[in-house]
Every structure is written in structure tokens, then in C-alpha cells.
Amino acid sequence: MSDPEDEPRGSLRPTSGRALAISAVVGLALGWGLHPLGRAATGEAPRVSWLQPLALTLVAVILAFLAWHTWRTVQVQGHRLDPQHAVNRLVLARACALVGALVAAAYVGFAVGWIGDASVLADRWTTRSLVAAAASAGVMGASLALESACRTPPGDGHP
């Protein structure tokens, strides 16, 4: 049998603010360019329905519940997660945090693209885009909470 001291040990750093910022900048550029590109390609701008913010809110709520449940299991009750479950939750959290930042910024960029537009629908699309951006920011926040909940307490010798 191998000695537990001989097993490889590693640590993961939390998702960096830099990665989130890069994701947001890319999303902002994509969202801002979507309005004029959509008009040039099809003659009308893409539409934002209430379904997008509702779906994003649902994802944020699910991630927040998973973060709370994980935090209670690991931090409060002191139980260990199965390693595969812990990795799955961590990967989900990181991916959703980055995509949440990208999508939130894309909706903000799309809303900014409507500023100064004389269209009757400009206010409607701007409002819906900003609500969707807030829901996406909720996805990012819940994902970062889930990532934090996956961390083991200091001094715990187990992954």
C-alpha cells in the first residue's frame, strides 16, 4: 500500500477576476455588435423576449441552491463530498461563472446598441436586455458561491 503522504497533492485557485473581466469584455463587444450585424443581415435587429431572463433566473436559482447545499455539507456539517461530485460541481461553477460574465456583458452591450435608436421597440429591447443581464450576473454570482462552497476547510487533509 502506498503511504498517503506519497500521493500527489494539488490545489486550485478560485476563478480569477481577470478571467471574468476578459469574458465580460468579449461579451460586451459581441453584444454591442449584434444589433447592427443583425439589422444588416436580416433587416431587423434580434429580439429579446421575457423567456431569456426567466431561463437565466432559473439557472441562477438552481446554482444558488446547489451552492447552499454544498456549503452546508462541506462547511457546516463537515462531510466530504465524493471526489467525482466535488470535481463536477467545481467545473460547473467555473464554467457558469465565465459564461455568466460573458452573457451578462453581451446583454449590456446589446442594450447599449439600442441607445439613440428611434425605433418604437428600442425601450422594450433595452429593458429586457438589462433584466437578462441582471439574471446573468446572478448566474455568475451563484456560480462563484458554488465554487467557494467546494473549498475544503483549512487544515483538512482530504481533497
Phi and psi torsions of 118, nearest 5°? -85, 0
**Largest alpha-carbon pair distance within the chain?**
74
Q: Which of 47-51, 70-74, 131-135, 148-152 has the lowest mean pLDDT?
A: 148-152
**Residue bearing cell 454544498:** 70
pLDDT of residue 20: 95
Nearest to 56 by CA among 146, 141, 158: 141
Instruction: Kindly report whether the global pTM for this prediction surpasses the value 0.95.
Output: no
Instruction: State the cell numbers at 113.
Output: 446598441
Q: Determine the Cα angle at 58 with ends 55 and 59, to 5°.
A: 90
8 A C-beta contact, residue 61 and residue 69 = no
Tell whether the model's pLDDT for residue 159 goes beyond 50: no
Q: Which of 30-44, 93-107, 123-137 has the lowest mean pLDDT?
A: 30-44
pLDDT of residue 152: 74
How many Å apart are CA 56 and CA 147, to the nearest integer? 18
